[in-house]
Structure 1
Amino acid sequence: MSVGPKPGDSFPEDVVFEYIPWAEEIDGFSACGVPINYNASKEWADKKVVLFALPGAFTPVCSARHVPGYMENLPKLREKGVDIVAVLAFNDAYVMSAWGKANKVTGDDILFLSDPDLKFSKSIGWAALDGYKSHTGRWAIVLDHGKVIYAQLERSKNVLEVSSAEAVLGAL
């Protein structure tokens, strides 16, 4: 993909994130799972997927509006044929897992994925530099059987317009 995916682009064949799968026995904050690789290219090849990214777990806009918007609209996304909803940030898999727990997300309702080295975000040109540190930009991509059908990057860090659940629903 070039800078910023566009509708009609194919999702790359080598996208691997890290995550800790939800399990009832590790649902509490004091219990940790083991991070594993999540081969998004393989897992998403035959599915309709909403992948949204944000600057970081436990941050104001991300925690107050971005993730809650997807949680509230999950039934509507499912009605539109979305098989998988995933959130991506640069935080490590442990932090992303804890954030899922803090949001009371169970099972695979929303996958909390890690792009710790920003490999994917940088590959599409949607990583962000905020002062001295890099992080994931705020964006949303919708895939349908490996093809991009929606891809939008927010105009600035604390803006939630084109990557919100409502915006994605409007595009489906």
Structure 2
Amino acid sequence: MAAVQKGQEVPAVTVREGTPSCQFDLQDVTKEGTHIIVGVPGAFSPACSAGHVPGYINLFPKLKERGVKTVWVVAVNDAFVTNAWAESLDAPADDVRIISDQAGEFSLAFGTLFDASEFFGNKRSARYAAVIMDGKVVEVFEEPDKTGLDVSKAENVLKSLG
């Protein structure tokens, strides 16, 4: 599947937050306003935990000033893992939400699933950030090697918002 592209709609795929029973459709919650979807290869992995997600947590007040409603962090991990990770990062629950794409279905539909079995044992989400306006991708920041941390940093996304 091709990588996420400008103009594409957020796919209608069920994701989870907190527990397996707390399910919702990411398309529904991003259909109005500006949102950022951030893909990460794995909860608790070094780059994701030390730099990538904390960057969005720390810069959220500035992102909000530029109109961002919510940052949705998507990880191909189960809901228990993503919930524990959110708690460990002290992610602000209403602003930076860490969600479970437990079977990789959202990542597959969004064009960001890749074979990460060498490092994580299975397929995972590429590292990226996508600015969403009214349910459609308007800007994409995808790491060329799928796992690096340069292009998709919060600072770069913030600059793109003017």
TM-score by length of 1: 0.85
Higher mean alpha-carbon deviation, 122-131 vs 87-96, is at: 122-131
Match of 1:104 in 2: 90
How many angstroms apart in 2 are the aligned matches of 1:7 and 1:43?
Answer: 19
How many angstroms apart in 2 are the aligned matches of 1:170 and 1:96?
Answer: 28
Note the residue ranges of structure 2 that are not aligned, 5 or more in a row: none
Bigger radius of gyration: 1
| Correspondent of 1:167 among 135, 156, 159 | 156
Give the C-alpha shift of residue 171 in structure 1. 1.5
Higher mean alpha-carbon deviation, 106-115 vs 57-66, is at: 106-115
TM-score by length of 2: 0.90
Higher mean alpha-carbon deviation, 121-130 vs 54-63, is at: 121-130
How many angstroms apart in 2 are the aligned matches of 1:55 and 1:158?
Answer: 7
Q: 1 or 2, which has the higher strand percentage?
A: 2
In structure 2, give the amino acid aligned to 1:136.
S
Is 2:134 the counterpart of 1:148? no
Contact 2:126/2:147 (CA < 8 Å) preserved in 1?
A: no
How many angstroms apart in 1 are the aligned matches of 2:21 and 2:64?
Answer: 27
Where 2:60 maps in the other structure, the secondary structure is: helix
Where 1:72 maps in the other structure, the secondary structure is: helix
Match of 1:24 in 2: none
Note the residue ranges of structure 1 that are not aligned, 5 or more in a row: 21-32
Give the C-alpha shift of residue 55 in structure 1. 0.6
Where 1:7 maps in the other structure, the secondary structure is: coil
Deviations 1:78-110 (A, max 9, x none): 011000111110011111111111011243121
How many angstroms apart in 2 are the aligned matches of 1:100 and 1:35?
Answer: 17
Question: In 2 relative to 1, CA 7–125 (structure 1 residues): closer, same or farther, beyond 3 Å?
Answer: closer
| Correspondent of 1:87 among 68, 73, 84 | 73
Is 2:6 the counterpart of 1:7? yes
Runs of 4+ residues over 6 Å off in structure 1: none
Contact 2:4/2:112 (CA < 8 Å) preserved in 1?
A: no
Matched residue pairs, number? 158
Contact 1:47/1:84 (CA < 8 Å) preserved in 2?
A: no
How many angstroms apart in 1 are the aligned matches of 2:144 and 2:39?
Answer: 14
Give the C-alpha shift of residue 157 in structure 1. 4.3
Contact 2:37/2:71 (CA < 8 Å) preserved in 1?
A: yes
Match of 1:19 in 2: 17
Is 2:131 the counterpart of 1:123? no
Where 1:3 maps in the other structure, the secondary structure is: coil
Give the C-alpha shift of residue 9 in structure 1. 2.3
Give the C-alpha shift of residue 34 in structure 1. 5.7
Contact 2:69/2:95 (CA < 8 Å) preserved in 1?
A: no
In structure 1, give the amino acid aligned to 2:104.
L
In structure 2, give the amino acid aligned to 1:167.
N
In structure 1, give the amino acid aligned to 2:17.
Y
Query: How large is the RMSD of aligned CA atoms in angstroms?
Result: 1.6
Match of 1:139 in 2: 128
